[in-house]
């Protein structure tokens, strides 16, 4: 943010402020600015669009959801003609795509980059929000749209004596723009989640020595990297809208139809055939949800999948001790991981696996890390330790709603929202993929949610009102979500999905587990019942009044 922009920002009065210039924020800005013609402005701490795709430029970063559903559908021409090169687009291709969308729809000129919104206060008398940036500029907006990212609030724990280390500590989600040269370096990767396994498979064989510091092993299946499938390209070109509607009408919007067959209702032979075909095809989400319908809900069904993956680990990894260390003991019910040749990496002489649950990472030294009492000499330590998912970035903004109510107090026992879109007592604050949104892939669902609340905004504009949420309706929604989560193995398996990855974070459900198709049915019912649960109350005309 330069000084001239800074001067222009202070005192700015907007109809709509959109926080976040990632997938959801860009679309929300497009709709508010270009379709509704409102005075809308975006804000992002980064110096370009992309959101999480701006920050996560670590080696090997790519979507592990097929590129087909990592695309906006609102611009049907781009949807039809954007030629993704790979089945799973790399970070730079996703970033390039988002940048092209922003250019085509003239969004960048309406975004203040390098600008972090730190505070949001609802001004009841004026019916609008007062936003304060990190630099102290004050902006008012009648509506605030927060599209701050499900997985964007970095979690990177500090280890004792970290400042003594003479090498570099790199955080995967804050990767330097000048990609550091790691060849010949002794590199440690802390973390073996989706991020860690992408880094590990990318760096193995390309650095001096790779040390994998694994606390909890996870079930990993192949991803199936390759060119974008021609057949799919033709299908989308022929009927882009039909493809979009079909994808949205599935449970998780990952571009395949979830299975409706129980793993326990087929013969052993048939089960092995289905798992083997899924293994050969690749795609973690499809392995978990497209093979059988009950892997995430029934322990016995789940075990058939883990037995299969375990047999793969045992056949791929040559050293039985290493294979044992790589084999999880919990359910296959985290966000599913997929990377090509993951287990093969551990057959290499230049890769060492450290079990840091047994031999703890004790502290840094000048030369490296003390792990289980022994020093491992290192040049670079990469933290791939995850995110304060779902709620992290909302709570980083010090938000005060009606009657002085703080968002952090309202969410002290875990989040509360209505349909992942709004929070009772925080009027005209709309969220893209807020907590208790459906458990799905993102871009098409972001569009759907933005379109949904845009209708609400239009309605509020017609009557000159503000949008709030009925507390009882909100709590009913939360209850439905909690009950839905309680029926799954995701609830009892530690991961960011339930908040267990962050020390001290309330462990709770944060999702609508009924699937996107049911979410749309439910939300359309709410709309047809005059937006049941949303409250639009008239206020005085506030446009043009002064900042308090």
Taking CB under 6 A as the criterion, the residue among 59, 193, 368, 392 binding ligand NA7 is 193
Contact assessment for residue 522 and residue 481, using Cβ atoms and an 8 Å cutoff: no
Q: Which stretch binds ligand NA7 (CB under 6 A): 129-137, 177-185, 194-202, 457-465?
A: 194-202
* Residue of 205, 200, 199 whose CA lies nearest to 183: 205
Distances (CA, A) of 76 to 70, 179, 234, 244: 14, 35, 14, 10
Structure tokens at 277: 């075909």
In sequence order, the 6+-apart residues with CB closer than 8 A to the CB of 458 are 36
Measured from the CB of residue 196, what is the shortest distance to ligand NA7 in angstroms?
A: 5
Tell me the pairing of strands 534-538 and 111-113.
unpaired
Q: Which stretch binds ligand NA7 (CB under 6 A): 89-97, 127-135, 179-187, 190-198?
A: 190-198
Measured from the CB of residue 305, what is the shortest distance to ligand NA7 in angstroms?
A: 18
CA–CA separation, 244 vs 82, rounded Å? 14
Residue 200: its H or E element: helix 194-203
Measured from the CB of residue 156, what is the shortest distance to ligand NA7 in angstroms?
A: 8
CA–CA separation, 306 vs 297, rounded Å? 14
With CB atoms as reference, the residue minimizing the distance to ligand NA7 is 193
Binding to ligand NA7 (CB under 6 A): which residues in 393-412?
none
CA–CA separation, 395 vs 391, rounded Å? 6
Of the pair 158, 350, the CB lying nearest ligand NA7 is at 158
Taking CB under 6 A as the criterion, the residue among 384, 444, 450, 460 binding ligand NA7 is 384
Taking CB under 6 A as the criterion, the residue among 18, 169, 190, 445 binding ligand NA7 is 190
Measured from the CB of residue 429, what is the shortest distance to ligand NA7 in angstroms?
A: 25
In the shown chain, the binding pattern of residues 135 to 154 toward ligand NA7, with x for contact by CB under 6 A and - for none, equals ----------------x---
> What DSSP character marks residue 114?
T
> Torsion over CA of 261, 264, 270 and 276, rounded to 10 degrees?
80
Binding to ligand NA7 (CB under 6 A): which residues in 346-365?
356, 361
Under the binding rule (CB under 6 A), the answer on residue 387 touching ligand NA7 is yes
- What number of chain residues touch ligand NA7 (CB under 6 A)? 20
| φ, ψ for residue 153, nearest 5 deg | -90, 100
Measured from the CB of residue 183, what is the shortest distance to ligand NA7 in angstroms?
A: 24
Measured from the CB of residue 159, what is the shortest distance to ligand NA7 in angstroms?
A: 7
Taking CB under 6 A as the criterion, the residue among 51, 196, 240, 427 binding ligand NA7 is 196
| φ, ψ for residue 29, nearest 5 deg | -65, -45
Taking CB under 6 A as the criterion, the residue among 11, 157, 176, 226 binding ligand NA7 is 157
Of the pair 167, 386, the CB lying nearest ligand NA7 is at 386
Of the pair 18, 220, the CB lying nearest ligand NA7 is at 220
58 CA to centre of own chain: 16
CA–CA separation, 424 vs 436, rounded Å? 14
Q: Rule CB under 6 A: which residues touch ligand NA7?
A: 151, 157, 190-196, 215-216, 335, 356, 361, 384-387, 496, 501
């Amino acid at each position: 943010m330069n000084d001239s922009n800074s001067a222009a920002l202070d005192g700015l009065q907007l109809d709509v402020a959109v926080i976040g210039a990632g997938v959801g924020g860009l679309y929300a800005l497009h709709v508010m600015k270009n379709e509704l013609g409102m005075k809308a402005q975006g804000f992002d701490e980064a110096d370009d669009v992309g959101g999480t795709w701006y920050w996560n430029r670590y080696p090997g970063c790519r979507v592990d959801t097929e590129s087909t559903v990592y695309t906006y559908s609102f611009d049907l021409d781009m949807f039809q003609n954007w030629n993704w090169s790979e089945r799973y687009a790399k970070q730079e291709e996703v970033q390039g795509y988002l940048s092209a969308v922003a250019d085509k729809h003239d969004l960048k000129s309406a975004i203040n980059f390098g600008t972090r919104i730190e505070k949001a206060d609802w001004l009841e008398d004026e019916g609008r929000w007062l936003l304060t940036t990190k630099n102290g500029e004050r902006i008012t907006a009648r509506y605030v749209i927060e599209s701050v990212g499900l997985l964007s609030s970095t979690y990177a724990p500090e280890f004792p004596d970290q400042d003594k280390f003479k090498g570099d500590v790199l955080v995967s989600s804050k990767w330097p723009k000048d990609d550091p040269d790691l060849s010949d370096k002794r590199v440690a990767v802390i973390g073996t989640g989706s991020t860690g396994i992408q880094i590990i498979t990318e760096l193995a064989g390309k650095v001096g020595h790779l040390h994998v510091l694994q606390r909890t092993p996870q079930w990993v299946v192949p991803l199936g990297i390759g060119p974008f499938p021609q057949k799919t390209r033709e299908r989308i070109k022929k009927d882009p809208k039909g493809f979009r509607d079909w994808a949205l009408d599935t449970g998780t919007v990952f571009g395949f139809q979830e299975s409706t067959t129980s793993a326990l209702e087929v013969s052993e032979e048939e089960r092995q055939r289905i798992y083997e075909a899924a293994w050969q095809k690749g795609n973690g989400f499809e392995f978990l949800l497209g093979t059988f319908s009950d892997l995430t809900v029934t322990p016995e069904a789940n075990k058939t999948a883990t037995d299969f993956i375990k047999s793969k680990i045992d056949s791929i990894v040559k050293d039985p001790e290493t294979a044992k260390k790589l084999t999880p003991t919990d359910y296959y019910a985290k966000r599913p991981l997929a990377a090509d040749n993951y287990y093969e990496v551990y057959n290499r002489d230049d890769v060492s696996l450290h079990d840091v649950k047994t031999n703890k990472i004790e502290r840094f030294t000048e030369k490296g890390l003390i792990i289980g009492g022994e020093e491992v000499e290192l040049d670079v330590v990469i933290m791939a330790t995850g995110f304060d998912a779902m709620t992290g970035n909302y709570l980083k903004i010090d938000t005060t709603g009606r009657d002085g109510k703080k968002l952090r107090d309202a969410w002290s026992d875990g989040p509360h929202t209505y349909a992942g879109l709004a929070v009772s007592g925080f009027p005209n604050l709309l969220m893209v993929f807020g907590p208790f949104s459906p458990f799905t892939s993102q871009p098409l669902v972001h569009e759907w949610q933005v379109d949904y609340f845009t209708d609400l905004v239009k309605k509020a504009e017609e009557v000159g009102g503000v949008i709030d949420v009925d507390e009882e309706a909100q709590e009913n929604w939360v209850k439905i979500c909690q009950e839905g989560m309680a029926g799954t193995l995701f609830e009892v398996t530690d991961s960011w999905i339930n908040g267990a990855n962050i020390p001290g974070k309330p462990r709770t459900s944060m999702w609508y587990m009924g699937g996107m198709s049911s979410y749309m049915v439910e939300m359309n019912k709410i709309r047809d019942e005059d937006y049941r649960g949303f409250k639009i109350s008239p206020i005085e005309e506030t446009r043009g009044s002064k900042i308090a």
